[in-house]
A and B are shown apart, each in its own frame.
Chain A
Amino acid sequence: MASVVPVEKKLMDVKLGELPSWILMRDFTPKGIAGAFQRGYYRYYNKYINVKRGGVAGISMVLAAYVLFNYCRCYKELKHERLRKYH
């Protein structure tokens, strides 16, 4: 009993049953994905950096995410260096 999804709803307004059809409606072309990255970048930039009295938090969140990304990237090699009796 899936109701018809009206066009271009925001994510918070979509009901849970309509979620798969909403996801399929999104634009997955390269232009759409580039647009999504651009929107995400400017959302972060305008909220944390492009403000009158920005602090160190804006850029340090980016650097922390970078460290986390690199940690996930090399986890495979790092797990052998833990201090355990049996690896």
Chain B
Amino acid sequence: MNENLFTSFITPTMVGIPIVPLIIMFPSILFPSPSRLVDNRLVSIQQWLVRLTSKQMLSIHSHKGQTWALMLMSLILFIGSTNLLGLLPHSFTPTTQLSMNLGMAIPLWAGTVATGFRYKTKASLAHFLPQGTPFPLIPMLVIIETISLFIQPVALAVRLTANITAGHLLIHLIGGATLTLTSISTITAFITFTVLVLLTILEFAVALIQAYVFTLLVSLYLHDNT
């Protein structure tokens, strides 16, 4: 059972060819590009959602930060759709792979830090020392702030990976438990099934929330640095 639990996380290959790029590019099919003033229902719903999210997310930024609008909106769409597609049975979720999440987190975080250092060098360096610290504590605090800065991309990536992976594992485990319990005691199986239903609802929420959190934090780092 232990080996079965983790087989859904290995990179999928078909006849020896890794098809991971195909699976990563699949959500793009579900977002058709709008071509007219009033499109079909799918495109209209997506446009409404994108407008709602972008207004809420980009309102805190200055003019310079709002140039990142395309990046942030495509990020939240990609992570949200990939996580939601991973909840379908037997599917592979690319965001469970730490490599991919690090590949998303590190460049974005580095971009925000580089923007901050390039345009507002003094203010970016000033972030390393909170206001009002006692004089003897300054060296230690600078070290701590540097560490917390460098941990930001790692935390972004690991948070997303761990949340999605843990959710998928829980669903596998509780689903397996429900199946084996049906032959032992029906009432316990029913209770476990209720837990499974609640967990699936939670996973839907987590899929969306994780996308939101990732994008929100990137935008927060951006706000600090513009």
Complex contact A70–B42 (CB within 8 A): no
A49 interface residue per 8 A CB criterion:
yes
User: How far does the Cβ of A80 sit from chain B's closest Cβ, in whole Å?
Assistant: 8
A45 interface residue per 8 A CB criterion:
yes
Tally B residues with Cβ within 8 Å of A: 20
A54 interface residue per 8 A CB criterion:
yes
User: How far does the Cβ of B14 sit from chain A's closest Cβ, in whole Å?
Assistant: 6
Which of A1-9, A14-22, A24-32, A61-69 binds B? A61-69
Complex contact A70–B91 (CB within 8 A): yes
Q: In the complex, which of the residues B4, B29, B40, B88 has the most CB atoms of chain A within 10 Å of its own CB atom? A: B40
User: How far does the Cβ of B225 sit from chain A's closest Cβ, in whole Å?
Assistant: 38
B122 contacts across to A, CB distance below 8 A? none
A77 interface residue per 8 A CB criterion:
yes
B30 interface residue per 8 A CB criterion:
yes
Number of A-B contacts defined by CB within 8 Å: 49
A13 interface residue per 8 A CB criterion:
no
Bin the interface of chain A by size: 20 to 34
Interface string of A32-62 (1 = CB under 8 A from B): 0000000001000100011111100011001
Select one of B29, B42, B89 contacting A71, CB under 8 A: B89
Complex contact B40–A54 (CB within 8 A): yes
User: How far does the Cβ of A3 sit from chain B's closest Cβ, in whole Å?
Assistant: 37
B7 interface residue per 8 A CB criterion:
yes
B90 contacts across to A, CB distance below 8 A? 67, 70-71, 73-74, 78
A59 contacts across to B, CB distance below 8 A? 30, 42
A–B complex contacts, Cβ < 8 Å, 6 sampled: A49-B32, A50-B39, A66-B88, A67-B91, A70-B89, A71-B90
